[in-house]
C-alpha cells in the first residue's frame, strides 16, 4: 500500500517555501527599490565657503536632497574646481552604515552576474522537465505502475517554487535585512534546506526511475492485469537524462545564494559615498567599460577550440543517429575530451606563470564562488575515482576502454590543476598602474574560459558514454552505478560551468587594484 509520505513531505516543503518567498517579496520588501548604489542622482553634495562647514579633511558632508527650486545658477557658480577636488577627497573618506535598524537595503556584496544568469538558465531547464512530467499524465494511458497521481501536484508546486525563488535571488542578491531577524533567519534556513532536499530527492528519484526502467528492459516483467508505463516512450523520459542535472545544479546554486543572504541578516554595511565624478558622470552607476583589451589572441584561439568542439559533436551525432555506430561516436567524444584537456592543461600552466606577477589577497579566499567550486570538485573527484577503479581493474584491451582510462586520468589531473589556478586567480589583483595597463595573463584567462565552455558541452554527454562503455556498470552493478552517476555527473557538469564563471570573474577583477576599506 502506497503511503504517500514522500509526496506529502515535498508538498509541505514547496508550500512553506512559497509562503516564505511571497512574504519576503510582498511584505518585507514592499516599496524597497533595488539600487546599485544607495545614493540616487537626485542627491547633491556641496561644500560652501561660508564658515559653517568644518573644512578638515576628515569632515563628512551631509547629503542634501536637491529639488527644482534650489538648483540655481548661483549655486553652480560657487562650486569651483578647487572645491570639486576637495569634495572628491572628502567623499571617499565619508561613509554611512546601512541598512538602519529596522530597515532593508540592497547594499550587500552581491553575487556574480554570470552565476545568477546560470541559475536562470538551469531554472529554465528544471521547470521544462517539470512541465514534461506534468504532460506525461495526459500523454500515457495508465500510470499505475510508475508514480502516484499526487505527483502531478508535486511537479506543479516545484515549478512554482523554482520560478518564484529564481525571481527572488536574481533581483535581491544584494539584500541586507535588519528587521524581523529571527523570522528572516528561519525563512532563509528553510529555503536552503528545501534546495538541499530537492537535490537529494531528484537524485534518488532519477536513480530509482532509471533502475526500474533498466530492470524492465532486462526482465520485461509487468504486474498482472496492468500495462507498464515503461512500454511507452514519453517526452519526460526521453529528456530526463539531459534535464535532471539542471534541477540538481540549480539547487546547489540556489542553496549557495540563499546562504549568502543568510550571512548578511542583521549586518550593517559601511557604504562609501561615490566620488564627485560619479555624481556628474553620464554613465550609469556601477557601469564599467568591458572590452577585449589584451585578450584578442586568447579569444580567437578559444574560438578555434570551440569550432573544433562543435565539429566533433556534429560527428558524434552523425555516427550515433545516421550510421547507428555508437562505439565510434563515443570514441569521437573521448578523443575530443582528451585533446581539450591537454590544451587546457598547458594553458593553465602558462596562465599561472603570467598571473603570479599580480598581487595576492588572502582575504578573498573563501568567497561564494570558491566554495561552490570546491563542492563541484568534491563530486567530480568521487565520480572519477569510481571510474578509475572500475576501468583499471576491468580493462579488456578494447579501444573504448583504453580511451576511457586515459580520459579519467587526464580529467583528475586537469580539474586539480584548474581548481588551484582558479582559487589562486580569484585572490589576485593589479598591484600598480602598469599591471592594469599590461594585464598579464588576460589572453590566457580568455582562452581557458572558452575551453571550459567547450568542456561543459562535452560533459553533457557523460551519461551516454557510460551506457556504451559498460565496464563501470558491470563492475559495480546497475543500481550502484546509477546512484553514482545520478549524484556525481551533475556536479561534473556544474564544475565545468562554474569554472567558466570564475574565470570570467578573474578576467575583470584580477586587473583592478585592491579595493580599500
pLDDT 10s digits, 457-466:
888 888 778 7
Whether residue 63 sits in one domain with residue 160: no
The three cell numbers locating residue 353: 606563470
By CB neighbour count within 10 A (0-12 exposed, 13-18 middle, 19+ buried), where does 470 fall?
Answer: middle
Top-confidence residue, 12 or 176: 12
Whether residue 183 sits in one domain with residue 324: no
Whether residue 183 sits in one domain with residue 79: no
Q: Residue 275: which residues within 8 A CB-CB, separation 6 or more?
A: 88, 91, 92
Q: What is the pLDDT at residue 345? A: 94
Helix (H, G, I), strand (E, B) or coil at 269: strand
Chain CA centroid to CA 412, Å? 22
Q: Are 267 and 479 in contact (CB under 8 A)?
A: no
Which whole number is the average pLDDT over 364-385?
A: 89
Which whole number is the average pLDDT over 274-281?
A: 36
Q: Within a domain: residue 23? A: yes
Q: Within a domain: residue 99? A: no
DSSP label of 68? T
Phi/psi of residue 367, nearest 5 degrees: -90, 170
Helix (H, G, I), strand (E, B) or coil at 428: strand
Q: Within a domain: residue 282? A: no
Whether residue 392 sits in one domain with residue 341: yes
Which of these ranges, 118-122, 196-200, 330-334, 511-515, has the smallest mean pLDDT? Answer: 511-515
Top-confidence residue, 385 or 1: 385
Q: What is the pLDDT at residue 268? A: 74
Q: What is the pLDDT at residue 362? A: 76
Q: What is the pLDDT at residue 175? A: 86
Q: Within a domain: residue 100? A: no
Q: What is the pLDDT at residue 104? A: 81
Q: Residue 10: which residues within 8 A CB-CB, separation 6 or more?
A: 154, 157, 158, 197, 201
Q: What is the pLDDT at residue 105? A: 79
Residue 81 domain boundaries: 43-93
Q: What is the pLDDT at residue 286? A: 40
Whether residue 239 sits in one domain with residue 118: yes
Q: Residue 237: which residues within 8 A CB-CB, separation 6 or more?
A: 136, 209, 213
Torsion of CA 428, 429, 435, 441, to 10 degrees: 40
d(CA 497, CA 456): 6
Question: Sign of dihedral through CA atoms 51, 56, 60, 63?
Answer: positive
Number of domains observed in the structure of the chain: 3
Q: What is the pLDDT at residue 391? A: 87
Whether residue 58 sits in one domain with residue 166: no
Please measure the distance between the N-terminal and C-terminal CA atoms of the chain and give it in whole angstroms. 63
Q: Which residues pair with 65 in a beta bridge?
A: 43
- The residue with cell 550609469 is 284
By CB neighbour count within 10 A (0-12 exposed, 13-18 middle, 19+ buried), where does 242 fall?
Answer: middle
Helix (H, G, I), strand (E, B) or coil at 248: helix
Cis check for the bond before 46: say yes or no (omega within 30 of 0): no
Which of these ranges, 16-25, 116-125, 157-166, 273-282, has the smallest mean pLDDT? Answer: 273-282
Whether residue 327 sits in one domain with residue 204: no
Whether residue 365 sits in one domain with residue 301: yes
Whether residue 154 sits in one domain with residue 68: no
Asked whether the predicted pLDDT for residue 396 surpasses 80, the reply is no
Which of 267, 259, 450, 272 lies closest to 366 in space, CA to CA?
Answer: 259
* Structural element, H or E, at residue 65: strand 64-65
DSSP label of 318? I
Q: Within a domain: residue 269? A: no
d(CA 325, CA 320): 5
Q: Within a domain: residue 276? A: no
Top-confidence residue, 142 or 285: 142
The three cell numbers locating residue 332: 569521437
For the chain, percent of residues with pLDDT exceeding 90: 35
The three cell numbers locating residue 28: 518585507
DSSP label of 360? E
Q: Please, which pLDDT band fits residue 96 given cuts at 50, 70 and 90?
A: low
Whether residue 81 sits in one domain with residue 114: no
Q: Within a domain: residue 515? A: no
Asked whether the predicted pLDDT for residue 363 surpasses 90, the reply is no
H helices of 318-438, where? 326-355, 368-394, 399-425, 433-438
Which of 189, 224, 208, 222 lies closest to 151 in space, CA to CA?
Answer: 208
Count Cβ atoms below 10 Å from residue 353 Cβ, excluding itself: 12
Q: Which residues pair with 97 in a beta bridge?
A: 270
For the chain, percent of residues with pLDDT exceeding 70: 76
Count Cβ atoms below 10 Å from residue 261 Cβ, excluding itself: 24
Q: Last residue of a domain, which of 245, 263, 281?
A: 263
E strands in 163-316: 175-177, 269-272
Which whole number is the average pLDDT over 478-492?
A: 91
Q: Are 442 and 295 in contact (CB under 8 A)?
A: yes
Q: Within a domain: residue 285? A: no
Q: Are 17 and 190 in contact (CB under 8 A)?
A: yes
Top-confidence residue, 462 or 231: 462
Whether residue 159 sits in one domain with residue 22: yes
Backbone dihedral region for residue 348 (phi beyond 0: left; psi -120 to 50: alpha; all else: beta): alpha
For the ranges 69-78, 136-145, 377-386, 478-487, the maximum mean pLDDT occurs at: 377-386
Radius of gyration of the chain from Cα atoms? 27
Whether residue 450 sits in one domain with residue 417: yes
Which of these ranges, 14-28, 156-170, 473-487, has the smallest mean pLDDT? Answer: 473-487
Amino acid at each position: 500500500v502506497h503511503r504517500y509520505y514522500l509526496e506529502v513531505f515535498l508538498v509541505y516543503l514547496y508550500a512553506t517555501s512559497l509562503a516564505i518567498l511571497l512574504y519576503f517579496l510582498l511584505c518585507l520588501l514592499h516599496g524597497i527599490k533595488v539600487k546599485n548604489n544607495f545614493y540616487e542622482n537626485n542627491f547633491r553634495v556641496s561644500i560652501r565657503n561660508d564658515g559653517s562647514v568644518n573644512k578638515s579633511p576628515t569632515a563628512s558632508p551631509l547629503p542634501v536632497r536637491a529639488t527644482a527650486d534650489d538648483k540655481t545658477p548661483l549655486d553652480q557658480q560657487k562650486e569651483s574646481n578647487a572645491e570639486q577636488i576637495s569634495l572628491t577627497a572628502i567623499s571617499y573618506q565619508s561613509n554611512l552604515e546601512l541598512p538602519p535598524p529596522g530597515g532593508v537595503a540592497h547594499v550587500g556584496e552581491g553575487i556574480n552576474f554570470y552565476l545568477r544568469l546560470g541559475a536562470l538558465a538551469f531554472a529554465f531547464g528544471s521547470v521544462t522537465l517539470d512541465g514534461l512530467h506534468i504532460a506525461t499524465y495526459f500523454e500515457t494511458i495508465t500510470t499505475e505502475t510508475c508514480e502516484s497521481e499526487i505527483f502531478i501536484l508535486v511537479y506543479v508546486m516545484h515549478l512554482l517554487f523554482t520560478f518564484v525563488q529564481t525571481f527572488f535571488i536574481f533581483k535581491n542578491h544584494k539584500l541586507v535585512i535588519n528587521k524581523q531577524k529571527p523570522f528572516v533567519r528561519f525563512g532563509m534556513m528553510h529555503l536552503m534546506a528545501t534546495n538541499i532536499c530537492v537535490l537529494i530527492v531528484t537524485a534518488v528519484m532519477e536513480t530509482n526511475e532509471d533502475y526500474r526502467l533498466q530492470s524492465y528492459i532486462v526482465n520485461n516483467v509487468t504486474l498482472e492485469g496492468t500495462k507498464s508505463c515503461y512500454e511507452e516512450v514519453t517526452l519526460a523520459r526521453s529528456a530526463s537524462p539531459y534535464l535532471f542535472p539542471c534541477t540538481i545544479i540549480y539547487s546547489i546554486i540556489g542553496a549557495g545564494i540563499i546562504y549568502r543572504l543568510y550571512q548578511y541578516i542583521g549586518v550593517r554595511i559601511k557604504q562609501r559615498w561615490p566620488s564627485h565624478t560619479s555624481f556628474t558622470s553620464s554613465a550609469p552607476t556601477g557601469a564599467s567599460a568591458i572590452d577585449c583589451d589584451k585578450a584578442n589572441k586568447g579569444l580567437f584561439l578559444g574560438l578555434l577550440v570551440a569550432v573544433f568542439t562543435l565539429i566533433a559533436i556534429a560527428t558524434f551525432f552523425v555516427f550515433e543517429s545516421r550510421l547507428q555506430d555508437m562505439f565510434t561516436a563515443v570514441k569521437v567524444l573521448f578523443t575530443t575530451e582528451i585533446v581539450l584537456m591537454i590544451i587546457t592543461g598547458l594553458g593553465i600552466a602558462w596562465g599561472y606563470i603570467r598571473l603570479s606577477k599580480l598581487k595576492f589577497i588572502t582575504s578573498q579566499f573563501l568567497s561564494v564562488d570558491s566554495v561552490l567550486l570546491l563542492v563541484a570538485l568534491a563530486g567530480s573527484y568521487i565520480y572519477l575515482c569510481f571510474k578509475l577503479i572500475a576501468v583499471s581493474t576491468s580493462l579488456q584491451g578494447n579501444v573504448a576502454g583504453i580511451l576511457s582510462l586515459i580520459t579519467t586520468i587526464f580529467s583528475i589531473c586537469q580539474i586539480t590543476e584548474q581548481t588551484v589556478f582558479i582559487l589562486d586567480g580569484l585572490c589576485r589583483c593589479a598591484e600598480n598602474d602598469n599591471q592594469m595597463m599590461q594585464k598579464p595573463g588576460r589572453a590566457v584567462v580568455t582562452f581557458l574560459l572558452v575551453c571550459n565552455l567547450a568542456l561543459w558541452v562535452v560533459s553533457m554527454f557523460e551519461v551516454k558514454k557510460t551506457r556504451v562503455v559498460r565496464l563501470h556498470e558491470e563492475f559495480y552493478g546497475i543500481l550502484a552505478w546509477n546512484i553514482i552517476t545520478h549524484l556525481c555527473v551533475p556536479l561534473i557538469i556544474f564544475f565545468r560551468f562554474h569554472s567558466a564563471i570564475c574565470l570570467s570573474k578573474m578576467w575583470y577583477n584580477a586587473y583592478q587594484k585592491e579595493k580599500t576599506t
